[in-house]
């Protein structure tokens, strides 16, 4: 690879990193917790996905137009809107905290970032395939953005004298091969078809293969860039969400014993089955690769079937915490969504599974993160908690300032 001269790197790198407020960024870590207990455990995470794991890319690229710009988003943990489609932390946040890393910054953050332990390339609304129904940042573009991030990082490290201050906040060159690459995407690929009332079998035949292929292509591209360790999430049952139950409430669609829409979940099941087969094929065709798959669908159903076991109110599993009445019985209103005038948030969000009708609460993500790290619903089962001696100490009812003492949060 040709190395750019210092002046060229300065021009190219200005959108990726900024020297402003480095000390604030450095503070956003868990002191004494940066080194893994097991040398085989990852010291870096690169994440790709949609709104279930976007920590700010959409809000930074399209500022001041999305719901998470407004309270009460983020108030549970951050005390104010935190660019996340949640009242607090996401699964990727909990995973970073368990490893003792700083929260994973979006790769589009140009001020006071810290990429030493990874970066987040997920965008809310993103699809796996090129069906850019919501935003243009489909998975293939996310991987391309990673390739640019990696090339600029390596180029900067070749110019150590000129980029000494920058490099301390960038991943080490060796970490790109030892990092954990997490991918969770696919649910948005079917939304436009659902809302056009396309036949589920048509969606399965036409959209599912494209969505699965998008993930396969991303893994292969990342593998060519020395990625070897992957954690891939399948999609949760969208037919159990408030938005679908509200929008399709008068159509008489069949439901299962949990009250979830069968036609919607049928598509999710087909995608998950095809993804499982594709991952098996990738394991066979890519020497040295390790791919773990988290069964988000089954984990979600487990919580819905046994909500009290996990601290949720059985009467509220499909009710929106932050929303507005007026359309159906799930406190979700297409015309008055969370964060807008007329909406309000429940006072007991930890008892709710669903935050804003589409996305989940911090309490739900906390349970999911523990499943992931403990190897539950993971194939093959890998217990990262024991292998890496991870800590859930900061998973509880803490705030940002309690979790990162002395840290500074720029939102």
From the candidates 25, 51, 66, 129, give the one annotated as an active-site residue.
Answer: 51
- Give catalytic status of residue 51 as yes or no: yes
Q: Would you say 333 and 323 are in contact if contact means Cβ atoms under 8 Å apart?
A: yes
- Give catalytic status of residue 356 as yes or no: yes
From the candidates 50, 131, 189, 356, give the one annotated as an active-site residue.
Answer: 356
Q: Would you say 245 and 259 are in contact if contact means Cβ atoms under 8 Å apart?
A: yes
Orientation angle between helical segments 6-13 and 139-157, nearest 10 degrees: 140
Tell me whether strands 118-120 and 180-184 are parallel, antiparallel or unpaired: unpaired
Cβ neighbour number for residue 359 with a 10 Å cutoff: 25
Rg (C-alpha) for the chain, rounded Å, is 21
Helices and strands (DSSP H and E) totals, the chain: 16, 8
DSSP secondary structure letters along 235-276: ---GGGSHHHHHHTTTTT--B-TTS-BHHHHHHHHHHHHHHH
Distance from C-alpha of 69 to C-alpha of 81, rounded to nearest angstrom: 6
What Cα–Cα distance (Å) separates residue 241 from each residue in 224, 232, 264? 37, 22, 10
Tell me whether strands 290-294 and 378-379 are parallel, antiparallel or unpaired: antiparallel
Catalytic residues: 51, 356, 359
């Amino acid at each position: 690879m040709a190395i750019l001269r210092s002046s060229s790197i300065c021009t190219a790198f200005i959108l990726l990193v900024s020297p402003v407020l480095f000390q604030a960024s450095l503070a956003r870590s868990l002191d004494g917790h940066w080194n893994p207990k097991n040398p085989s455990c990852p010291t870096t995470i690169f994440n790709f996905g949609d709104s279930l794991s976007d920590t700010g890319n959409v809000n930074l690229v399209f500022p001041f137009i999305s719901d998470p710009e407004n309270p009460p988003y983020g108030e549970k943990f951050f005390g104010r809107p935190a660019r996340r489609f949640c009242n607090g932390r996401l699964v990727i946040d909990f995973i970073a905290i368990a490893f003792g890393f700083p929260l994973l910054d979006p790769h589009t953050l140009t001020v006071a970032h810290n990429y030493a332990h990874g970066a987040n390339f997920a965008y809310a609304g993103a699809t796996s395939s090129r069906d850019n129904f919501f935003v243009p940042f489909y998975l293939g573009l996310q991987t391309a953005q990673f390739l640019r991030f990696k090339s600029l990082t390596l180029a900067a490290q070749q110019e150590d004298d000129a980029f000494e201050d920058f490099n301390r906040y960038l991943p080490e060159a060796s970490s790109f091969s030892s990092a954990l690459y997490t991918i969770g995407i696919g649910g948005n690929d079917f939304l436009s078809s659902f809302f056009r009332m396309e036949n589920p079998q048509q969606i399965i035949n036409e959209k599912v293969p494209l969505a699965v292929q998008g993930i396969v292509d991303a893994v292969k591209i990342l593998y060519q860039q020395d990625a070897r360790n992957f954690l891939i999430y399948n999609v949760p049952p969208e037919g159990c969400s408030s938005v679908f139950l509200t929008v399709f409430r008068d159509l008489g669609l069949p439901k299962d014993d949990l009250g979830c829409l069968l036609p919607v979940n049928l598509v999710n099941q087909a995608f998950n089955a095809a993804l499982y087969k594709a991952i098996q094929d990738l394991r066979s065709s890519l020497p040295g690769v390790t791919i773990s798959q988290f069964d988000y669908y089954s984990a979600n159903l487990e919580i819905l079937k046994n909500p009290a076991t996990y601290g949720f109110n059985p009467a509220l599993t499909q009710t929106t915490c932050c929303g507005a009445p007026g359309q159906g019985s799930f406190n979700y209103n297409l015309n008055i969504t969370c964060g807008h005038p007329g909406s309000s948030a429940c006072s007991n969000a930890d008892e709710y599974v669903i935050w804003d009708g589409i996305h989940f609460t911090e309490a739900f993500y906390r349970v999911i993160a523990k499943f992931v790290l403990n190897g539950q619903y993971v194939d093959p089962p890998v217990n990262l908690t024991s292998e890496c001696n991870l800590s859930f100490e900061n998973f509880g009812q803490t705030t940002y300032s309690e979790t990162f003492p002395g840290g500074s949060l720029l939102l």
